[in-house]
Amino acid sequence: MTYRMLQRLLFFVLLMFFASAYSAPNIAILDDNISRANLGKIGYLFIDETKQLSQELIETDTYSRRFVPIERDFLQFGLVDGSVWLRAQVAIQSSARAPVALHINAPRLQQLSIFIPELNLIGPLAELGEYNPAQGRPIKHAEFIVPLPDPLPPLFTIYLKIDSNVPINLTAEVKTLSDTFADTQREQLWTGIILGIAFIVLFTNIVFWLRLSNIMYLIFSGILAGLITLHLSVHGYLYDWFPTFTGLQERLYNLSALGCAATISLFTRLYLNTATTLPKLDRLLLGLGLLNGFLGLIYSLIPEQLNIRYLSLMATGTLMLLFLAGFFAYLKKVPYAGYYLLARSTLTFGHFLWILTAYGMISSMFWYEWGLTLSILAEALIHFTGMLLRQRHANSHVVGKYSPGYSRDVSLQLLDDIKRRLAYPINIMTGIVPTLPNNEEQRTALASAKVGMEQLSNRISTLIDIETGRVREQTLPVSLDTLIREVQLSSRTAGADYQSVLFEYDKSLKVDIHSNAPMLQHLLVTLCYELQLYSDQELTICFNTPEFKDTQDHSVKLEIVIEPMPTSIDLAATGNIGIRHAIHVLDFLNGKFEDQGVGSQRRGLITLPLKASIGRQQQPSFNLKTSVLLFGHYTALMERTMYVSENNVGAMHHVADLEDLVQMLTRKRDEDESVIICLFEDEANSDAALISRIRNYLSPNDITLLITDNIRISERYCHNQGFDGLIYEHDLERRYLAHIRRLTKLIA
């Protein structure tokens, strides 16, 4: 019994469903209560693949039966290779007999013919579309509005014939003229608001370009100009100014679409400063921009011979590549890449949805009309916000009321140019110092000036790396002990007229630093140099790693205490590349500088996080049985050599007498033991000729090096004399140990 009841209930539901479906009205009725009707809901569709059928043939039973119902408000057919025929029946039963119009919202259609057979007209009621002059439209408007003649039969049929090489998307309605004009005024209001915002941002960028002479603002203005042209072409407003032209809208749409892609590519280069931060990406963006510009020009000249699909594919592919470029720049921590990535994500996602809507994959009349414009406008506003913050950041670094008129990117280029120009006088000084007469005061002064210029060049390089996101990642761990000794060596070479710096740290605690070791070394060298300039007494720098444990995440807090801090140093001062530069580097390392005490009790406490671990016992980089003999009078050059040799060789001896040197060379040694003999050519030593007097006492494993401050001595001369290597003073720290490692490997 229950089973039969369920059968009857199911049969009743199906009967009601089919009855409601077949009883749905297939006629658009306008009366005193209904002032509009959507033809898509009650219309029928037929596609003529031959494009040859006339209205008379379409009305015959042969083709009339081939029409299928549409039942959609928003008609989307995509790209159609043929003529699209729409048929709908309309009945006007209004007692007021208000004027009625056919309103078709599809400004991009290329050919649109309207037929009403009951009017017995020869030919169509109206021929509209891109390929027909706009001045021939019944009502001069961006959309297609055709007033229906009065009187009309109580029931009549409307045929629409559509031919287009672009995707077909439209809404077709029959409604009163009052409703028609209300709808068009609403759309014009929103168009005015959107274009008003775009024009305001456009004019603002032009003013910025004229004021700052930064071409980035001019190219950004090109994006906004493309947005305005794109919106006018999509919505059909261009023919208000050019009513006699045909095909203009399609050409300008193609040009502005790919033109926007081209200008965005070029804008990306300037916004992210890829010429400095990402040189390889910069060339890709330049090529992408030029390619889009070239294709945009071609598509605007011969649009009828090219497939619109390739234009859409090119624009979408360009935006996807730019999105990936923005994501890559964000990972590389390029300044302001976050704003760029947000803007690029907005446009890429919005444009992708618009493409899907245009080709009929997503049904949204709102997004088809406004999605592209809103996406580009939102992207432009995000970019504009980022550009304002960039300019505000640049202005905040200007001292006093003077404004140099340079943008941040131009300032970085100026710093890079200054760094390159400093290289020339540094090289000149490097060559002049050894050739000066034995005037220690002049040599010291010139050497100090050279060190100061090298410090300035290094700081500029570091500043550019930080601001452009080019700080190299550390690949191998560096022991804290080695780093401190490198800083000590650099502080000793800062100049003889500066006070010394004492470094205190627990040498029993072996710590390996895994990140930012070069930047930490640069910070310490800068502090040593700057503090010595202001101090008249010995400075002490203490290193401490409180409660350090070899944790899994390798985190450690390093504390550096500097005392006494010179009272003349103002940590809050800006606009200098001295102590302020050290604070800037410390900020990059996420550290903080605490100023403690006053007067003679003043000291500085630096706290910064590092990635580190407990150091492992490592094998020496070369043979422990290798000893170094330094021969000659004790000079500054020999002192530097001794300092570099500390903790890096098995043994080190200073020999001032030739007989003592011969005695050490002739003592009994193991077969695998080698001696490195360093002879000097400087202000107090002229030992190059001594090589001939000790050659007979050398074993096959021994190595002879000539260390000199005289750049006139050549490698060829050195080898002719019998030396195994030549090291110049200015390359001592960089090449000495590397030279020894290379030679001892040959022995091994």
**HEC per residue, 281-329:** HHHHHHHHHHHHHHHHHHHHHCHHHCCHHHHHHHHHHHHHHHHHHHHHH
3-state secondary structure of 512: strand
Same domain (yes/no): 482, 464? no
State the pLDDT at residue 161: 93
Please name the residue that has the structure tokens 């043979």.
623
Please provide the DSSP assignment of 606-652 as one string: EEEEEEEEEPPP---SS-TTEEEEEESS--HHHHHHHHHHTTTSSEE
Three state DSSP letters for 250-289: HHHHHHHHHHHHHHHHHHHHHHCCHHHHCHHHHHHHHHHH
Backbone dihedral angles phi then psi of residue 526, each to the nearest 5 degrees: -65, -45
Same domain (yes/no): 610, 716? no
Same domain (yes/no): 558, 698? no
Please tell me which residue, 478 or 680, carries the higher pLDDT value: 680
Q: Is the dihedral of CA 655, 659, 662, 663 positive or negative?
A: negative
Q: Mean of the pLDDT values across residues 426-440?
A: 56
Q: Are 640 and 672 in contact, with CB atoms under 8 Å apart?
A: no
Q: What band does 664 get if pLDDT is binned at 50, 70 and 90?
A: confident
Alpha helix segments (H runs only) across 60-214:
61-64, 177-212
Closest CA to 348 of 308, 379, 313, 381: 379
Backbone dihedral angles phi then psi of residue 448, each to the nearest 5 degrees: -65, -40
State the pLDDT at residue 21: 41
Is residue 2 situated within a structural domain? no
Residue 182 tokens, joined: 């209300």
State the pLDDT at residue 399: 33
Same domain (yes/no): 319, 456? no
Give the least confident one: 115-119, 254-258, 375-379, 522-526: 522-526
Q: Measuring CA to CA, how many Å separate 606 from each of 281, 464, 655?
A: 38, 23, 42
- Up-side HSE of residue 169: CA atoms within 13 Å toward CB? 22
State the pLDDT at residue 259: 92
Is residue 500 situated within a structural domain? yes
pLDDT at 402 over 70: no
Please tell me which residue, 636 or 449, carries the higher pLDDT value: 636
State the pLDDT at residue 173: 92
Is residue 131 situated within a structural domain? yes
Q: What is the DSSP letter of 434?
A: G
Q: Mean of the pLDDT values across residues 410-437?
A: 55
Is residue 689 situated within a structural domain? yes
Q: Is the dihedral of CA 527, 530, 534, 538 positive or negative?
A: positive
Q: Measured in whole angstroms, how far is the alpha carbon of residue 489 from the centre of its chain? A: 38
Same domain (yes/no): 497, 446? no
Q: Are 564 and 602 in contact, with CB atoms under 8 Å apart?
A: yes
Q: Measured in whole angstroms, how far is the alpha carbon of residue 549 from the centre of its chain? A: 38
State the pLDDT at residue 448: 64
Q: Mean of the pLDDT values across residues 707-715?
A: 81
pLDDT at 696 over 50: yes
Please tell me which residue, 454 or 163, carries the higher pLDDT value: 163
Q: Are 377 and 195 in contact, with CB atoms under 8 Å apart?
A: no
Residue 227 tokens, joined: 């947005």
pLDDT at 559 over 50: yes
pLDDT at 686 over 60: yes
Please name the residue that has the structure tokens 């690029």.
344
Compute the distance between CA of residue 230 and CA of residue 239 in angstroms, rounded to an integer.
13
CATH (domain of 167): 2.60.40.2380
Give the least confident one: 101-115, 184-198, 291-305, 597-611: 597-611
Q: What is the DSSP letter of 556?
A: E
Same domain (yes/no): 270, 235? yes
Same domain (yes/no): 455, 511? no
Please tell me which residue, 297 or 743, carries the higher pLDDT value: 297
Q: What band does 398 get if pLDDT is binned at 50, 70 and 90?
A: very low
Q: What band does 86 get if pLDDT is binned at 50, 70 and 90?
A: very high
- Boundary residue ending a domain (130, 163, 183): 183
Helices (H) and strands (E) in the chain, counts: 22, 24
pLDDT at 218 over 50: yes
Other beta carbons within 10 angstroms of residue 383's beta carbon come to 28
Is residue 8 situated within a structural domain? no
Q: Measuring CA to CA, how many Å separate 738 from each of 299, 383, 488, 734?
A: 61, 49, 19, 7
State the pLDDT at residue 96: 74
Backbone dihedral angles phi then psi of residue 609, each to the nearest 5 degrees: -85, 145
Q: Mean of the pLDDT values across residues 383-407?
A: 54
Most confident of 68-72, 498-502, 625-629, 714-718: 68-72
In terms of residue numbers, what domain contains 230? 214-396
Q: Mean of the pLDDT values across residues 375-398?
A: 73
Q: Is the peptide bond before 124 cis (omega within 30 degrees of 0)?
A: no
Write out pLDDT tens, residues 112-167.
999 999 888 888 888 998 888 888 888 888 889 999 888 788 889 999 999 998 99
State the pLDDT at residue 3: 59
* Domain count across the chain: 5
Please name the residue that has the structure tokens 């001019």.
218
pLDDT at 410 over 50: no
pLDDT at 353 over 90: yes
Is residue 323 situated within a structural domain? yes
Give per-residue burial for 296-315: e unless 16+ CB within 10 Å, then b. Answer: bebbbeebeeeebeebbebb
User: Percent of the chain, pLDDT > 90?
Assistant: 15
Compute the distance between CA of residue 297 and CA of residue 307 in angstroms, rounded to an integer.
14
Please provide the DSSP assignment of 41-87 as one string: HH-EEEEETTS---HHHHHSHHHHTT-EE---SSEEEES-SSEEEEE
CATH (domain of 506): 3.30.565.10
pLDDT at 23 over 70: no
CATH (domain of 674): 3.40.50.2300
Output the average pLDDT for the chain: 78
Is residue 90 within a helix (H) or strand (E), and if so which, with residue range? strand 83-92
State the pLDDT at residue 355: 92
Q: What band does 71 get if pLDDT is binned at 50, 70 and 90?
A: confident
Q: What band does 322 get if pLDDT is binned at 50, 70 and 90?
A: very high
pTM over 0.75: no
State the pLDDT at residue 258: 93
- Boundary residue ending a domain (468, 493, 512): 468
Same domain (yes/no): 642, 609? no
Number of residues that make up the chain: 748
Give per-residue burial for 595-621: e unless 16+ CB within 10 Å, then b. Answer: eeeeeeebbbbbebebbbbebeeeeee
Compute the distance between CA of residue 306 and CA of residue 542 in angstroms, rounded to an integer.
73
3-state secondary structure of 666: helix
Give the least confident one: 385-394, 399-408, 665-674: 399-408
pLDDT at 651 over 60: yes
Same domain (yes/no): 486, 464? no
Same domain (yes/no): 639, 608? no
Same domain (yes/no): 373, 249? yes
Most confident of 47-56, 658-667, 718-727: 47-56
pLDDT at 496 over 60: no
Write out pLDDT tens, residues 253-294.
999 999 999 999 999 988 888 887 788 888 899 999 999 999
Q: What band does 557 get if pLDDT is binned at 50, 70 and 90?
A: confident
Residue 391 tokens, joined: 């300019």
Please name the residue that has the structure tokens 């060049």.
457
Residue 319 φ/ψ region, left for φ over 0, alpha for ψ in the -120 to 50 degree band, beta for the rest: alpha
Q: What band does 314 get if pLDDT is binned at 50, 70 and 90?
A: very high
Q: What band does 634 get if pLDDT is binned at 50, 70 and 90?
A: confident
Same domain (yes/no): 227, 373? yes
Q: Mean of the pLDDT values across residues 543-568?
A: 70
pLDDT at 87 over 90: yes
State the pLDDT at residue 623: 46
Q: What is the DSSP letter of 472?
A: P
Is residue 403 situated within a structural domain? no
Other beta carbons within 10 angstroms of residue 517's beta carbon come to 22
Is residue 209 situated within a structural domain? no
Compute the distance between CA of residue 341 and CA of residue 345 in angstroms, rounded to an integer.
6
pLDDT at 382 over 50: yes
Q: Mean of the pLDDT values across residues 577-586?
A: 77
Q: Are 204 and 387 in contact, with CB atoms under 8 Å apart?
A: no
Torsion of CA 666, 667, 670, 675, to 10 degrees: -60
User: Percent of the chain, pLDDT > 70?
Assistant: 76
Compute the distance between CA of residue 391 and CA of residue 547 in angstroms, rounded to an integer.
44
Q: Measured in whole angstroms, how far is the alpha carbon of residue 69 from the centre of its chain? A: 51
